[in-house]
Structure 1
């Protein structure tokens, strides 16, 4: 670790920025920052760590003697603090570049990428190392149940980080994961996503190809051997590459050997493991962790013990409560594939019960019609569904916007009732009318969804 520095964050209250600031503070660095979104829980987390946060973006927030200034991904030209930073010619970096310089360099970096499953797989691998006594550093884009926070930087040579393909900063349009110096790169799957910054799937594939180009020859690339998009990267990968999947040609072949409402048993090339999560999707995530942890030098027994005690992540198939026999589940899913796989996994957990999907189109991609047909397919996995109004519809051109009424109509035409409701109150009223004791309602949203979980629990 470098000697203590003064690091100033512009946009410190974002989940990743705040977690990084707290972890750097724990290493002895002096941290300051500003944001216009200063409220709990992040404001409390920063205060408890002894970090002073200034509300609002102002030129006078800039400490003149700081060693480096971190410009958050949400900060753009015109921001008064950023403009002052540029005019004063102060040294600035993106958060990804700062992590590379201050935290990752010289370590064995395990970077988990892909359209789906990044947060779960990153947390699971970090926990396997932790349980085995390795004290790993990590950076997770969520709230892990096994750890106190989403980021921790240690003196261990193992570092685990969620590798996002989203762009880095207003001045660096490369994907974040290109900064993370992977010794081991995991690619869970690749689909079209982030329609606000990628034109098409080819642009996303190019970014992943560049990512694999950063893995050294003594490293390892693990890809989903059942995903044609992942396999398309194989020919040009300069590092050793192994496929992990259910198909007969995979180097590490997964076999699902048993399921319970709370767990999934699987084998990798005949060697048995179990993960306390449901669905094929989570068995795939766990299999990637097994292969990566073996590469790090852990024994299968150490890996099994870590998997058995894994508790998951908040907002991933998380039970929020029960009212009159109706269970409310919170899930971060917003891409059709994630919705589909979550619903299939929950069928395992809640066998014989009616599943309702409630979806809020809030992410940059889900507000658009680019994956409209895939969303229709995904919602038909539920016994019934409700789709909310598109969040901030004015940010998407009318001809590119998701047609919520059409989605509801198409799903219903396939024999699964689907309703479009324009307000939270209308959604709650609809579900009160349609659901009965024993039903399970899964709320899919990558935002707060107007506190609908508590409204449902109260009204039902």
Structure 2
């Protein structure tokens, strides 16, 4: 995630860029259209002596990759994605967005506000920006907005002037070992802000509250719960498939904003973006107009289909229990009938470590389908599969309509027979579960076409 954005930025800077991936995808098609050569499959023949640097992502097992071994044989520098991201962050004044959840949406919000304000920022996100269909946007080098990932402590390599920290929860425990170490890493990240910069942190989050005494850099707070924060929201309403809320800066009422995204978590994401935009002296009316037309990154509560019978299909990247709960809660505000969740667990370690939490994360869903684990960078763990989560859901909510379908490709044909008018179906996961949702969309469109023909 995010490698494609780095490739685009380097291309814009005038470098010749090539790459490889295990599978083809729309992202690779986009890169090829830009003139970047992308090979399918990792092969030592992709590496030649005149390469200046090889960049690899966290999905690559460095010591077992043929391209990495070939690069080392040629004495070509081999660096992590996070190291290159840190180098690119020095192009301009960097604004880094970190947190266990909400990074991509908040980064995209900040990017859209600065773009609409005519500031022409460079943007690098972990997802795909809908407006550009890419993971990056090139700009004038004054500001660069970066999604800062805490995995492997990679965000500590950055040198941001401004930051947003959305929340801090337990995740990537395989990198840190304990929640205390995760909190310390976030405190260290915030303390990288210089005296002339500012960090915006969400006061509603317990993890952030616990590190406030450790923060030594300038910071401001935002909240939807307390007026003690520097920026806070009041009169939150969910309507028209979105959210409206009043924005206050201390005692001053700035105005009411509408964002075309439902859910309290998205109100918080917006407040984080608003607070940094105000810190950059962007007029509130411009911020308001920009967010009212906000186009989120792909796979972030992305409505990919709305049928004649009010059936909605939503694709979401949620892969942590807290994210799943927030997504279901948001879906409840826009559905006409049932919420049906299709969940693909991401990583064997996360499935094992959060099994109990996943068991309680689907309380707001009426029906749940769980597939097998998307392994990503990991090898299987004996006895760990999506079936573990199904059993935990049954323990937490006896009688809940939940099934395990190991092969995601079998889901669309089975689910199409069960969908009722007004249902909202959500695919959840950081893997490729959205492919099942796309197939379901095709089936729904075909069924709708038949109904129209008959009528």
Report the TM-score when normalising by structure 2: 0.87
Measured after TM superposition, the shift of residue 104 of structure 1 is: 2.2
What's the counterpart of residue 176 of structure 1? 154
After TM superposition, give the deviation of residue 436 of structure 1 in Å: 1.9
Which shows bigger deviation, 72-81 or 302-311? Answer: 72-81
Separation in structure 2 between the aligned mates of residue 399 and residue 385 of structure 1, nearest angstrom: 19
Matches within 5 A, 1:305-316: 305-316=289-300
Deviation at 1:448, TM superposition (A): 1.8
Q: Which residue of structure 1 aligns with residue 453 of structure 2?
A: none
Q: Distance in 2 between matches of 1:104 and 1:422?
A: 41
The one of 101, 109, 115 equivalent to 1:116 is: 101
TM-aligned CA deviation for residue 430 of structure 1: 5.4
Determine the structure 2 residue equivalent to 1:390.
Answer: 373
Is the CA contact 1:367–1:396 (under 8 Å) kept in the aligned structure 2? no
> What does 1:7-406 correspond to in 2, within 5 Å?
15-33=1-19, 35-37=20-22, 39-75=24-60, 76-101=62-87, 103-105=88-90, 107-167=92-152, 175-245=153-223, 246-269=225-248, 270-272=253-255, 273-321=257-305, 325=309, 326-350=311-335, 352-368=336-352, 370-392=353-375, 395-398=380-383, 403-406=388-391
SS in 2 for 1:182: coil
Shift of 1:360: 1.6
Name the SS for the 1:349 alignment partner: coil
1:8 is matched with: none
SS in 1 for 2:354: helix
Deviation (angstroms), 1:285: 0.4
Q: How many residues align?
A: 434
Query: Which secondary structure does the structure 1 equivalent of 2:276 belong to?
Result: helix
Deviates more, 1:391-400 or 1:401-410: 391-400
Structure 2 CA distance for partners of 1:302 and 1:450, relative to 1, 3 Å: closer
In structure 1, what is the equivalent of residue 451 of structure 2? none
- Contact residue 193 and residue 199 of structure 2 kept, 8 A: yes
Alpha-carbon shift at residue 429 of structure 1 (Å): 5.9
- CA 1:91–1:385 in 2, change beyond 3 Å: closer, same or farther? closer
Q: Structure 1 length as normaliser, TM-score?
A: 0.86
Report the Cα offset of residue 391 of structure 1: 4.0
Of residues 84-93 and 372-381 in structure 1, the stretch that sits farther from structure 2 once superposed is 84-93
Distance (whole Å) between structure 1 residues aligned to residue 159 and residue 165 of structure 2: 15
> 3-state SS of the aligned residue for 2:207?
helix
